[in-house]
Amino acid sequence: MGKTIRILLATIFFVAVSAEQYYLITVKVDSNNVQKVREHLETKGFDISGYNKETSRLEIITSTPRFLEKECSILQSRGMTFAIDEIISSESYNSYHAKREQAESYYGPEETLQELQQLEKTYPKWAKVFNLNEWLGLGNTVEGRSLYALQVSSNPDLLEDEAKIVIIGQHHARELMTHHAVLDSAKDYLQRAQQGEAKLLSAIENSAVWFVPVVNPDGLAYVFSNERMWRKNRTRNNDGSHGVDINRNYSFKWGACGSNSSSGSSQVFKGPSAQSEIETKVMDRLNAKLQAQYIISYHSSGDEVLYPYRCGFMAEANVYNDVRDRLARHIGFGKRFASSSGEDFEHHYGMYGSISFLLEIGSSFQPSFSTYRNRVWPNVQKVLPFMLDELAKPHVHIKVMDKNTGKPLAASLNMAEINFKEQEQRTADEHGSYRWRLVPGKYNLTIKMAKYKEQKIIIQAGQKSNYFVELEK
């Protein structure tokens, strides 16, 4: 056998057995250049799993450490501090965690569901568990699981005509703090309301909060059974690889810019088509129904608030940025652009007008549970009360009905003064309602519905809040 062929075979064998071997690499970066380094690596397809701003270190998970070494020398030649600190293979990382399994307190998908059911049992007047796949008429995940939500509101088994918030966790399998952030937020809300905290009692009465702790149950199960560094779902791709990055798969501006890939083996594979995955379909259909005013989507790590429109024009940036800046200050987080388009929070804003933020919590992707509890949760705990305060601020409430029957109409709404350029949509919900946070002023609203005559009205935001619109056929 020729030498070249032997080397080739050895290479193929190495690639085949090490197909699922990952490396967690910690690099020291110059704090002034974190953004530049991050963007450079994301453009090269690297999966940055976390950022610790105190030590100025990035965590990168990759199956190709050699390529990272190459990028390391490129960045150094451009005068940036970029030094590899530590490389841990997933083999040693997994066996380390297998040994201390008893001490682990992070939940898998089953324990998370049990916790939701426990909350429903403890607070039956205020909390109700929904199997979202079933409720929304969609099939299960590839491994036969469902996504679950807890609605917290008065009459929690009904979808009432009231303002809404959605709190979401765990798009990325290995981000183990994020479903706890959602569960703990629900628990804290219910406990404090029970203890009589007036603001929270009034929020339960006048609004609904939907908690969806685990968007990626198959991936989460796989983290505990096989691979602690797993990120995507468990779809089998056409090229034989596994997993779509659910948070690159949403349809609004799918694949438009940032770190996403068309290659199945990539950590940021955007999927074969927009919203190809059952997990993204469920979350899209949920918010199509809820039309939430505010959404928080938890990821880890970085202690950062991420904002959308990395590319494209954001028409209502003044309203959005005001809430974003105050939220970041309130919890002591930094701010940066989203890594990519096709992420959930940009989708929910674009398609439904939900003012949505991605929060990267903590300073490493899998700290000990006590670090989550003592260092990360105290910041997370402030988020929902802040969002409830925002929800209580004036919103223009437009309600559209059929003039003859009084039936609510899911009409489409268009303000002449708000110049959308990315095919954003604003549509009334199944109650015919839409709640819009607007800068005070005068707006010309056009209301359209198939088979009905179009209608135009004037909105005086800041002066009058409720507008009833009756459409005629």
Residue 57 touching Zn ion (CB under 5 A): no
DSSP 235: P
Q: Give Cα separations from 120 to 133, 167, 211, 282, 349 (angstroms).
A: 19, 17, 12, 22, 29
* Shortest Å, Cβ 232 to Zn ion: 11
Site stretch for Zn ion (CB under 5 A), options 144-152, 165-173, 253-261, 314-322: 165-173
* Residue 247 CB, nearest approach to Zn ion (Å): 6
Q: Which H or E run contains 281?
A: helix 278-290
Size of the site for Zn ion (CB under 5 A): 2
CA–CA distance, 342 with 252 (Å, rounded to integer): 6
Distance CA 358, CA 328 (A): 11
Stretch that binds Zn ion, among 102-110, 170-178, 274-282, 446-454 (CB under 5 A): 170-178
In angstroms, give the least distance from the CB of 172 to Zn ion: 4
**Taking the complex as a whole, how short is the minimal distance between the CB of residue 245 and Zn ion, in angstroms?**
9
Residue 269, strand partner residues: 261
Indicate the residue among 156 and 362 with the shorter CB distance to Zn ion. 362
Q: How far apart are CA 14 and CA 40, in angstroms?
A: 28
Query: Which of these segments, 135-143, 164-172, 303-311, 462-470, binds Zn ion (CB under 5 A)?
Result: 164-172
Q: Which is nearer to Zn ion, 299 or 324 (CB)?
A: 299
What does the chain come to in residues?
Answer: 473
Of the pair 181, 208, the CB lying nearest Zn ion is at 181
Question: Closest residue (Cβ) to Zn ion?
Answer: 299
Question: Is residue 174 a contact residue for Zn ion (CB under 5 A)?
Answer: no
Nearer to Zn ion, 299 or 348 (CB): 299
From 32-40, 137-145, 171-179, 214-222, span contacting Zn ion (CB under 5 A)? 171-179
Contacts 24+ apart (CB under 8 A), 218-224: 218/141, 218/142, 218/143, 218/145, 219/172, 219/173, 219/174, 219/243, 220/108, 220/109, 220/112, 220/170, 220/173, 220/179, 221/108, 221/109, 221/143, 221/145, 222/173, 223/173, 223/174, 223/176, 224/108
| Residue with Cβ nearer Zn ion (269 or 434) | 269
What is the nearest approach in angstroms of Zn ion to the Cβ of residue 301?
Answer: 9
The pair of three-digit structure tokens given for residue 429, joined into one six-digit string: 């919900």
Residues whose CB is less than 8 angstroms from the CB of residue 302 and which lie 6 or more positions away in sequence, other chains included: 50, 51, 53, 334, 336, 360, 362, 363
User: 231: how many CB neighbours lie within 10 A of its CB?
Assistant: 25
Compute the least distance from the CB of residue 350 to Zn ion, in Å: 19
Q: Would you say 306 or 391 has its CB closer to Zn ion? A: 306
Choosing from 145, 172, 179, 437, the residue that interacts with Zn ion (CB under 5 A) is 172
Closest approach, Cβ 334 to Zn ion, in A, equals 16
Nearer to Zn ion by Cβ, of 58 and 75: the residue is 58
Q: Which is nearer to Zn ion, 155 or 371 (CB)?
A: 371
42 a catalytic residue: no
Write down the least CB distance from residue 170 to Zn ion, Å: 9
Q: What element of type H or E holds 181?
A: helix 177-194
Q: CB 53: neighbour CB atoms within 10 A?
A: 14
Choosing from 316, 360, 417, 472, the catalytic residue is 360
- Cα(452)–Cα(454) distance, rounded to whole angstroms? 6
Write the DSSP string, 286-340: HHHHH--SEEEEEE-SSSEEEES-SSS--TTHHHHHHHHHHHHHHHT-EEEE-SB
- Chain positions 247 to 306 lying near Zn ion, rule: CB under 5 A, are 299
Q: Which residues are known to be catalytic?
A: 360
Binding site for Zn ion (CB under 5 A): 172, 299
